[in-house]
Amino acid sequence: MKPFTYQRAETTQDAVRGIKTPGAKFIAGSTNLLDLMKLQIEQPAHLVDISKLPLNKIEDTEEGGLRIGGLVTNTDLAANERIRKEYAVLSRALLAGASGQLRNKASTGGNFLQRTRCPYFYDTNQPCNKRKPGTGCSAIDGYSRSLGIVGVSNDCIATHPSDMAVAMRVLDAVIETTDSEGNTRSIPLEKFYVLPGSKPNVETVLKKDELITAVILPKPVGGTHIYRKVRDRASYAFALISVAAIIFEDGTGRVAMGGVASQPWRVKAADNQLPNGAKAVIAKLLENPKTTEDNKFKVTLAERVLDGVIKEARG
């Protein structure tokens, strides 16, 4: 870990001003950044601690949805009454992730910004374009069982590890930010992440001085909410794949998938196929997958698991 300076921001304005310091990063729950700093994967020169900012409320919006403060903990979000009743897929996704201790610390905004769990990203002896741009990708011809099969590039096949973000994607969440100039903007989650392409180190459209202040959920859409996470061990493991689905009585609905791409994966044309069953959905959702010998099973797995999810929704 490199020496760094530290600042506790009292207000949002403080925070976005502090982030202008060269080499600065925000830190909230410390469940990911601190680990990465210990391993010298992240080496910020300055930390802006935002954990005390007043962004920890969950409020109703005028439109009938919810506004979730960026610092609401994963535990609080999962336990919120309206989330459990009206956005159950989100509560279930949160509870499928990490451990009780981590969820007590992890923030909503930070959860979106988790770094990949690709093992090569964590080993600083190995080439990794995400960690050190231009060095190459070890995973593509290395050990890739947990890695991505869609939206991947020749430079990176890392997956995004979040469960929460997959549910947020199926709920059409919108991220609200503010920057050092005081500008705010609303970014639909579908436009928030960027594909790895030749720059896998760039993961979102956030500017350096932009802070996630809240997440907006549109008004509830009803339907049956299912979050199905598939993993080798029963708890405390990242998803091999996960499915977030909202399925209506008429068989239509929405589906997003985790564990297959560098972002929660959702394809409009795949949603449209839901009444036609899992095979039809997967043909669109995982169209032209780019698999390795290690991870090609994910295509079969995705179809089988989605089949179970659709059947569960239909009762």
DSSP state of 193: B
- Residue 45: both structure tokens together: 């020169």
Smallest gap from residue 142 Cβ to another protein (A) = 5
Q: What is the residue whose two structure tokens read 């720059």?
A: 199
Contact between 84 and another protein by CB under 8 A: the answer reads: no
Which residue stretches of the chain are H helix?
Answer: 12-18, 33-38, 74-79, 81-86, 88-96, 100-105, 108-112, 119-122, 164-170, 189-192, 268-272, 278-285, 297-314
Contact between 39 and another protein by CB under 8 A: the answer reads: yes
Contact between 117 and another protein by CB under 8 A: the answer reads: yes
Residue 152 or 305 with smaller CB distance to another protein: 305
Smallest gap from residue 299 Cβ to another protein (A) = 11
Neighbours of 10 (CB within 10 A): 12
Residues 218-277 that bind another protein (CB under 8 A): 230-238, 240
Chain centroid offset of residue 86 CA:
20
For residue 39, CA distances in Å to 22, 129, 131, 238 come to 21, 17, 12, 20
Contact between 2 and another protein by CB under 8 A: the answer reads: yes
Residue 164 or 189 with smaller CB distance to another protein: 164
Contact between 5 and another protein by CB under 8 A: the answer reads: no
Contact between 304 and another protein by CB under 8 A: the answer reads: yes
Contact between 314 and another protein by CB under 8 A: the answer reads: no
Residue 163 contacts residue 112 (beta carbons within 8 Å): no
Residue 24 or 139 with smaller CB distance to another protein: 139
Site size toward another protein (CB under 8 A) is 35
Residue 68 contacts residue 138 (beta carbons within 8 Å): no
| Nearest in space to 246 (alpha carbons), one of 230, 270, 276, 226 | 226
Q: How far apart are CA 237 and CA 48, in angstroms?
A: 29
Q: How far apart are CA 93 and CA 257, in angstroms?
A: 11
Smallest gap from residue 314 Cβ to another protein (A) = 13
Each residue 133-172 as x (binds another protein by CB under 8 A) or -, in order, gives -----x--xxx-x---------------------------
Smallest gap from residue 304 Cβ to another protein (A) = 5
Residue 233 or 268 with smaller CB distance to another protein: 233
Among 40, 101, 135, 183, binds another protein (CB under 8 A): 40
Residue ranges binding another protein (CB under 8 A): 1-3, 38-40, 117, 119-120, 122-123, 125-126, 138, 141-143, 145, 230-238, 240, 297, 300-301, 304-305, 307-308
